[in-house]
Structure 1
Amino acid sequence: MSSVAPFPGPQKDPSAANRAAPPPDAAQPRLRDPRLDFYRGIAMFIILAAHIPGNRWTGWIPARFGFSDATEIFVFCSGMASAIAFGGSFARQGWWLGTARVAFRCWQVFWAHIGLFFFLAMSLAAIDLHGGFEKSYVNSLNLGHFFKDPMPQIVGIFTLTYVPNYFDILPMYLVVLMMMPLMMGLEKVGLWAVATVSVLIWLTANPYMIGLGPNGISFPAEPWSDREWFFNPLGWQLLFFTGFAFMKGWLPKPPVSRTLIILAAGFLIFSAPFGSGKVLGWVEAWNMDLAETIRPTWKTTAEWREKTDFGLLRYAHFLSLAYLGWVAAGTGGKRLIASGQSAGARIWAVLLQLITKVGQQSLAVFVFSMALARFIGFALDQTDRAVMTTAFANLIGFFLIIGCAYGAAWFKSQPWRAKK
């Protein structure tokens, strides 16, 4: 992150020389890192496509080509954004006020989760009640238990002991945010303490790493079964705090090295059949002998690539992908800053602006897109889901989340408070 100070012009007022200079630590306007908002924006588009039921485009999202997917981008970038938004509060205002700011954000995320659940539950119930469709849209999200016995499920929604699969990422994000005061307190002991505790917490979700069996600590997702949260915050906090550490300066910037580029790209390419059933299917079509060699390993690495507890292979895969993204963006993200007057440069500038705006308003866009995806899926159910129809539906969805981002930014700017 860089800061921008105003350039001092000629001193026309003689008294200006006698004015007190601002303190060296005075707040200065800061430029957002373009890499953070760009890649988080990309994740938002992928997340929308991934959650549209029966979407042809989901066959080409990152999850189909390796261990990690857009969820890792979202969590990692959220950690980086939290270092900017909250890390400074801890440094400037102290631990208690920093914790208070985190608590306020947790409050916002909690109500975003509650609002999303009840809005979608109501919307799907309205479709089932008045649509006359053979398909039950309530059951498509496995909400039958909620409507059959709502009293305990309402309590469960508010206490996070009932977390339906579609509504699982915000509770995970909420719990990870609640760990931030702990990590900021440990910073005073030493960065080694932060790293040690984060790894130990991750190991409670992934005990197989130290030979303690396959079952780690998890959070119950519903009272009538032993299903756990689909995203275990004890595992995913490792990725969040990795992003936090890079942006906070706890971890050094990775060097741009041809050797590291080759290693990262090689890992992504050669691990693809082991992390993706889609790629393994391609290998089977190409070479059955090679596929038969890969398949036993693909089965035995299930714990290492598990999404729920954030297995180690997912971590390694994402770090490799993130490193290549870091290199591709250039120093300071210079390749993500549009320049030039050619038609191609102007188009690139517009795309950068739109993607970046979506990344800047990630919480609002995420909540909106999760609801929007179900409505787009409903609309597609009324069609033949042809290639062009699906493409049109996805593009309309992209257009709407861009509109959501600009709308959220407008409301946050509070234009009604501007002085005339």
Structure 2
Amino acid sequence: MVTTSPEREQARAASHAVPDRTLRDPRLDFFRGIAMFIILFAHTPGNFFTSWIPARWGFSDATEIFVFCSGMASAIAFGKTYDRSGWRLGTGRVIYRVWQVYWAHIGLFFTIAMLMAALNIYGDFDKNYVGSLNLWKFFADPGPQLVGLFTLTYVPNYFDILPMYLVILAMMPVVMALSYVSLWQTAAGVAVVWLFAQSALLEWLGVGHLAINFPAEPWSDREWFFNPFGWQLIFFTGFAFMRGWIPAPPVKGWLIAVAAVIVLTNIPLSNIGVREFGFDWAREWRIENRSWFNKSDFGILRYVHFLALAYLAWAAAGVQGARLIATGDGMLERWWDRIVRVVMKVGQQSLAVFVFSMVFARILGVALDVAGRSTLNTTLANFVGIAALIVVAYTVAWFKGQPWRPKARPS
């Protein structure tokens, strides 16, 4: 057991030197709220909005925003518990959150599976909705799949984000324990775990059998689409920034220029570059170099692209998000302030909003199957979805506030 060392004392000092961050960071909530809306668009079947979301302009997408911001939020929510109450109670709180996410995943699966089955049984549709999510095996032979569902060895593609998230959360106590020893060892541990998730790179090195991931279904060799051992890199990057382990980057003109160049040079290599600008060479490059931006294992180019985007957003938002919050009294300022606060509310209730959006996206898809996917219908469906997420966020916040409890009277 390590007792004291200069590095350990320095790590503890760095943790305690972080200012009190119990107040919500407007930048964190705002960008996580934006990610929630994008995730709804991306999961609505046949939604032409999906053709223009940020994922089509570069390697990274809303998943990186969600996971990075979740890492930052976890540093706020759990980091203070570790500092105040120690590793054991901090870990207990993490386990409680893992428990919540686990049951959110189980509830989400059964809700959507029931909805798909109901549509097949009672709806007069030409489409097989159970088949649309590839749930054939579950309904044909539910016994083994129920065991797989509860042990996370059966993870259909549509239901793979929350399992990835809970595994990363479960890694947090190990990362915190390493941070008490050395921040360099913490960084090395995170990097090594990411490296062993890069299946294509390990195959190229002739050690593909060392790649780590989880099985996604018992009847094939398919693995989790979101490999948590790869995606933990972006989560703990956000965690480290918010903990103060990585210093906040300075806002410098040359850094802004470098980040902008990275983002802009991604466009020719992106889906938009191939689809809209006709860069056929980029299509061939993407096929030959897919492992560098592989989404399942979180390829390194996704990381670089996201960090460049995040830096530009950091610089644009200003200190403590000052540029996000309107200060004027004009009509435009008032409307902008209202919009930002609504988006922040959605970001604050991200787990509840995410689970609801995954269900509501399927409902919107059914509505579009019935009404037709005209530009007007699809646009209307997206705005209905936006409104629904906002209602859910405010409703959940109201319940969390426990307004039925008597207010304390001043003594």
> Given the two structures, how large is their TM-score scaled by the length of structure 2?
0.92
Amino acid at match of 1:231: F
Of the three residues 89, 92, 101, the one matched with 2:93 is 101
2:325 maps to 1:325: no
Secondary structure of the structure 2 residue equivalent to 1:36: helix
* CA distance 1:115–1:207, shift in 2 (3 Å): closer
Match of 2:5 in 1: none
2:249 maps to 1:262: no
2:241 maps to 1:246: yes
**Residue deviations 1:33-56 (CA, integer Å, cap 9, x gap):** 110000000000000011000001
Of the three residues 267, 284, 297, the one matched with 1:309 is 297
Q: Please, which moves more after superposition, 165-174 or 333-342?
A: 333-342
**Residue deviations 1:113-155 (CA, integer Å, cap 9, x gap):** 0000001101110111000211111111111110000000011
- Measure how far apart 1:298 and its partner are: 2.2
Match of 2:274 in 1: 280
Mapped contact 1:214–1:303 kept (Cα < 8 A): no
* CA distance 1:292–1:131, shift in 2 (3 Å): closer
- Measure how far apart 1:213 and its partner are: 4.7
- Measure how far apart 1:236 and its partner are: 0.1
Secondary structure of the structure 1 residue equivalent to 2:335: helix
**Residue deviations 1:67-87 (CA, integer Å, cap 9, x gap):** 000000000000000000001
Mapped contact 2:22–2:76 kept (Cα < 8 A): no
Match of 1:119 in 2: 111
**Residue deviations 1:257-299 (CA, integer Å, cap 9, x gap):** 111111111111112222x233223332xxxxxx354344222
Structure whose alpha-carbon radius of gyration is higher: 1
| Aligned counterparts of 2:277 and 2:132: Cα–Cα separation in 1 | 33
| Aligned counterparts of 2:21 and 2:312: Cα–Cα separation in 1 | 29
| Aligned counterparts of 1:219 and 1:292: Cα–Cα separation in 2 | 35
1:195-206 map, 5 Å: 195-206=187-198
- Measure how far apart 1:29 and its partner are: 8.9
- Measure how far apart 1:196 and its partner are: 0.3
| Aligned counterparts of 2:196 and 2:238: Cα–Cα separation in 1 | 20
* CA distance 1:50–1:119, shift in 2 (3 Å): same
2:396 maps to 1:408: yes
| Aligned counterparts of 2:102 and 2:232: Cα–Cα separation in 1 | 17
Amino acid at match of 1:212: L
Mapped contact 1:95–1:181 kept (Cα < 8 A): yes
1:27-66 map, 5 Å: 30-66=22-58
| Aligned counterparts of 1:261 and 1:203: Cα–Cα separation in 2 | 28
Mapped contact 1:207–1:213 kept (Cα < 8 A): no
Of the three residues 199, 214, 230, the one matched with 1:219 is 214
* CA distance 1:137–1:294, shift in 2 (3 Å): closer
Secondary structure of the structure 1 residue equivalent to 2:295: coil
Mapped contact 1:208–1:214 kept (Cα < 8 A): no
| Aligned counterparts of 1:350 and 1:260: Cα–Cα separation in 2 | 31
Match of 1:157 in 2: 149
Match of 1:175 in 2: 167
Aligned residues: 389
> Given the two structures, how large is their TM-score scaled by the length of structure 1?
0.90
Mapped contact 1:66–1:271 kept (Cα < 8 A): yes
Secondary structure of the structure 2 residue equivalent to 1:278: helix
Mapped contact 2:273–2:282 kept (Cα < 8 A): no
Amino acid at match of 1:128: N
Amino acid at match of 1:32: R
Match of 1:393 in 2: 381
Secondary structure of the structure 2 residue equivalent to 1:188: helix
* CA distance 1:167–1:252, shift in 2 (3 Å): same
Mapped contact 1:221–1:228 kept (Cα < 8 A): yes
Amino acid at match of 2:71: G
Question: Structure 2: any 5+ residue segments left out of the alignment?
Answer: 1-16
Question: Structure 1: any 5+ residue segments left out of the alignment?
Answer: 1-24, 285-290
2:79 maps to 1:83: no
| Aligned counterparts of 2:230 and 2:140: Cα–Cα separation in 1 | 33
Secondary structure of the structure 1 residue equivalent to 2:276: helix
Amino acid at match of 1:153: Q
2:378 maps to 1:363: no
| Aligned counterparts of 1:188 and 1:28: Cα–Cα separation in 2 | 19
| Aligned counterparts of 1:239 and 1:42: Cα–Cα separation in 2 | 18
| Aligned counterparts of 2:21 and 2:181: Cα–Cα separation in 1 | 31
Mapped contact 1:102–1:178 kept (Cα < 8 A): yes
Q: Please, which moves more after superposition, 145-154 or 262-271?
A: 262-271
**Percentage identity across paired residues of the two chains:** 59
Amino acid at match of 1:367: V
Of the three residues 128, 131, 136, the one matched with 1:136 is 128
Amino acid at match of 2:323: R
Match of 2:332 in 1: 344
